Structure 1
Amino acid sequence: MRADFPRHEFPREAADLSRGSRVGGDRAAFLAFVQDEASEAAIRGGLADWGGGVALRRGGIATAIKALEREATPHVLLVDIAGIDDPVEQLEALAGICTPDVRVLVVGDNTEISFYRQLTRELGVAEYAHKPLTRDGTARLFGPFLAGGATESDATRRGGQVVSVCGARGGVGSTTVAVHLAMHLAEVSRGHVVLLDMHLRRGTTGLMFGVRPPPGLRVALENPERVDGLFLERCAVPIGDRLKLIAAEEPMDAMPTPSIEGVAGLIGLLRQRFNYVVVDLRMPPGPTERAVLAASRLLLTVMAPDVASIRATIAARKLVSGGAARMMTVLNRDGLTGGLKRKHVIEGLGTAPDVTIADLPKLLPRAANLGRPALAHSAALRRALAPVTEEIAAVHTAAPHAGLLARLLGGSA
């Protein structure tokens, strides 16, 4: 596994970082973590002529990781890896909690050119400098990043993973799966997660979180030029400290016409800003849904224990065959009264579902009506989602025991 720090250009609204220490909401322009007074003095003195906006803290990469688990990722981050036995492992941990558009600068005590190449060419670190730091060297190497420059025209663009969730047919609980998967990812990976609801007229993600999405998503999808960094400030609803929701509640008589360019632009922007993009997708896919699938690494097809779902799941499997996305099948509401037994579902599909979620007839409907997702109160739901989360984020998950609220809501542990 490698730390993927994308070397992207800054968003347009953050192009000039010399105007202050913070831009674009609560994101710091340039945040540095260094372990010694001499390095701190060299950075402060070397960057003084670049317009200010530098925030310095004492500590190494471990301190940075702990801080950024709770704080917004800065536009430019400098970390000190001196004295670290396995800096690559630490950089991988840092990559997991930072937004993909961060530009990472590293200082350390390794003077080998092979180490420099490993960091900058293989791991995506923007620049590396070895100690002792000097003011002139700091200004020359790090100053352009403070001004919003130092981009590389041939830099490989990387970004967060896109995971699409769709129902094999209507009413099988795909939105419920998408909501709880996004929450689980944000919790166990500590990465930045966004849930995008592509059901512009009948989406229910906002209701399940107990929030009302602001307007703007439809306009952005219909007008690609409107998809920019300011869109996130206007339309992304915070759900906890690591999860945001982008959704719409267009009236039933509305006729949204999202464009392929608008969808592709939005997905591209979200991949720059978030580690994981979970999309609640409509099926069967039209041109815009196909654009999302083309950018997806994983497609979760949610089915119920019935014949119609089996038929639709087989059709969906053929649809994505040969595409970029890998498909995982989620059997939802297993054990539903009147539904097919799991062995019959396996016979119909010709293979076992990748994920099985038990029927929770009291917990999930009541939680949805209350606008409080049930993940925190259902160990069964956590256990069911664990394989998907581990597949996406490569982290081990463990399900705690269900709490009192689950019992009050009638849930099963």
Structure 2
Amino acid sequence: MTSIEYGFERQPADVFLEDGGHTGQLDHLRPLPRISIHAFCESEGMLQTMERCASDRRMAKVSLRINSGSIPAAANMFASAPTPNLIIIETSTEPSALMTELAPLAEVCDPSTKVVIVGHHNDIALYRELIRNGVSEYLVTPVSMADILNAIAAIFIDPEAEPLGRTIAFIGAKGGVGSSTIAHNCAWGISSLFSTEVVLADLDLPFGTANINFDQDPAQGMAEAVYTPERLDEVFLDRLLSKCSEHLSLLAAPSTLDRAYDLERGSFQPMLEVLQRSAPVNVLDVPHAWSEWTRTLLGEVDEVIVTAVPDLANLRNAKNMFDALKKLRPNDRSPHLILNQVGMPKRPEIAPGDFCDPLEVQPIAIIPFDAQLFGTAANSGRMIAEMDKKSPAAETFSQIAHIVTGRATVKKPKKGGLGKVLGMLGRK
């Protein structure tokens, strides 16, 4: 695959976290490497901040131990135990006495161990003295989870490392709601609108439809990536991809039933890590299922888009999914919602406003039912914009592509309903 520039703008719709930080401070933070950290907390606030850090998806590989106490407690512990890669210590000690208090800890620390001090005094002279004496960072309380994670990243992540690609997962609140169709059209839209390399990964191994929708019949694809992780690298991945357009590549599902696809929790993790190093945008078509591997994957991606149709079963499922995902992703934005197949003739529907109120979100798109356009596109192996680039549906997919890549935000509706929500199609 060709080398291209990553650089998407930060999505402006930041969500403020409980500790005063906001999601925008974490947008471009890479997953932290496999390191060990011991944190020593004097205050309840610092203890809660470290507990929030422990639950963040970017800390998945980190071994974190949270302790009560300050510098003396750390010195006492490591007098008889090896020091970790990083020690984070909160201290209220006066600046004039801090270096003296740190001396016993310095005597027992391994030379490679990094130290971050969280102090209660905003003193530039103290900061300079600490840095001069080997402390990696000095933060002043109150600190947020974002402050802590960015401080760790500054120490252990190479600033010259290539950026990781953005991972965007699409999943349906129920089977048959059109999540795959939306994922495929958005992947095509991102690649064509922004002339950026996109990989579409079809994770529905037995019943995936990406190969049909793009009129492809690759001999290899997702099965080889999942079942031979020891072989997987950028070169091997490139051989598994099939080209759909100038900037869009497909990692197709086998779509056969010659085996049972009983996947383990981390089955897709090696593939995702390689994908993130290979392309700036990776669109994941996730099947409607709730298993260990889907929970794990949805907890680790950058964006989640839930597609639903406006009926009661979809509302119940979407509510359950939103609640579960907020627990899995406590420091990330809420998943996006797309309402699909709206206005199907003779079908009773829940009004968009009534559907969205329990979810406490606004949809980024409301897509009207159009059996002729979508059916013809599917049977022709073409995308909606290829069939009719001036259609309302094609414009909606363009808007979704801007939102999920961080190039646009959802506009708040004016009084009187959802008619002005970005992506809602009032005209038919």
Supply the AA of the counterpart residue of 2:3: T
Q: How far did residue 185 of structure 1 move? A: 0.8
Supply the AA of the counterpart residue of 1:389: A
Q: Distance in 2 between matches of 1:262 and 1:350?
A: 32
Q: Secondary structure at the match of 2:371?
A: coil
Deviations 1:296-355 (A, max 9, x none): 111100001211111111011011004046400100011112141434434564554232
1:226 aligns with 2:231: yes
1:312 aligns with 2:320: no
1:336 aligns with 2:344: yes
Q: Secondary structure at the match of 1:321?
A: helix
Q: Secondary structure at the match of 1:362?
A: helix
Q: How far did residue 289 of structure 1 move? A: 1.8
Q: 1:345 maps to which residue?
A: 355
Counterparts in 2 of 1:182-193, with a 5 A limit?
A: 182-193=187-198
Q: Distance in 1 between matches of 2:303 and 2:322?
A: 12
Q: 1:263 maps to which residue?
A: 268
Q: 2:206 maps to which residue?
A: 201
Q: How far did residue 381 of structure 1 move? A: 1.6
Of residues 384, 392, 403, the one that matches 2:404 is 392
| Shift in CA distance, 183/319, structure 1 to aligned 2, threshold 3 Å | same
| Shift in CA distance, 257/219, structure 1 to aligned 2, threshold 3 Å | farther
Give percent identity, aligned residues only. 22
Aligned residues: 257
Query: So what's the TM-score if we normalise by structure 1?
Result: 0.57
| Shift in CA distance, 345/260, structure 1 to aligned 2, threshold 3 Å | closer
1:165 aligns with 2:95: no
Q: Distance in 2 between matches of 1:180 and 1:271?
A: 20
Q: 1:178 maps to which residue?
A: 183
Q: 1:354 maps to which residue?
A: 364
Deviations 1:126-146 (A, max 9, x none): xxxxxxxxxxxxxxxxxxxxx
State whether residues 213 and 237 of structure 1, in contact with CA within 8 Å, keep that contact through their aligned partners in structure 2.
yes
Q: Distance in 2 between matches of 1:242 and 1:230?
A: 18
| Shift in CA distance, 339/231, structure 1 to aligned 2, threshold 3 Å | farther
Q: How far did residue 383 of structure 1 move? A: 2.6
Which segments of 5 or more consecutive residues in structure 1 lack a partner in the other structure?
A: 1-26, 28-71, 75-93, 98-121, 123-151, 398-411
Q: How far did residue 260 of structure 1 move? A: 4.0
Q: How far did residue 364 of structure 1 move? A: 0.4
State whether residues 194 and 243 of structure 1, in contact with CA within 8 Å, keep that contact through their aligned partners in structure 2.
yes
Q: Distance in 2 between matches of 1:229 and 1:302?
A: 31
| Rg (Cα) greater in structure | 2
Q: Distance in 2 between matches of 1:266 and 1:223?
A: 10
CA RMSD of aligned residues (A): 2.7
Q: 1:247 maps to which residue?
A: 252
Q: How far did residue 154 of structure 1 move? A: 5.0
State whether residues 305 and 335 of structure 2, in contact with CA within 8 Å, keep that contact through their aligned partners in structure 1.
yes
Supply the AA of the counterpart residue of 1:287: E
Counterparts in 2 of 1:7-406, with a 5 A limit?
A: 72-73=2-3, 94-96=5-7, 155=158, 158-322=163-327, 323=329, 324=332, 326-337=334-345, 338-340=347-349, 341-346=351-356, 349=359, 351-376=361-386, 377-378=388-389, 379-395=391-407
Q: Secondary structure at the match of 2:335?
A: strand
Q: Secondary structure at the match of 2:367?
A: strand
Query: More deviation in 197-206 or 284-293?
Result: 284-293
Q: How far did residue 269 of structure 1 move? A: 0.6
Deviations 1:162-220 (A, max 9, x none): 00000000000000000001011111222110110000010011101111132242232
| Shift in CA distance, 155/388, structure 1 to aligned 2, threshold 3 Å | same
Which segments of 5 or more consecutive residues in structure 2 lack a partner in the other structure?
A: 9-28, 30-154, 410-426
Q: 1:4 maps to which residue?
A: none
State whether residues 203 and 222 of structure 2, in contact with CA within 8 Å, keep that contact through their aligned partners in structure 1.
no
Q: How far did residue 252 of structure 1 move? A: 2.1
Q: Distance in 2 between matches of 1:236 and 1:362?
A: 31
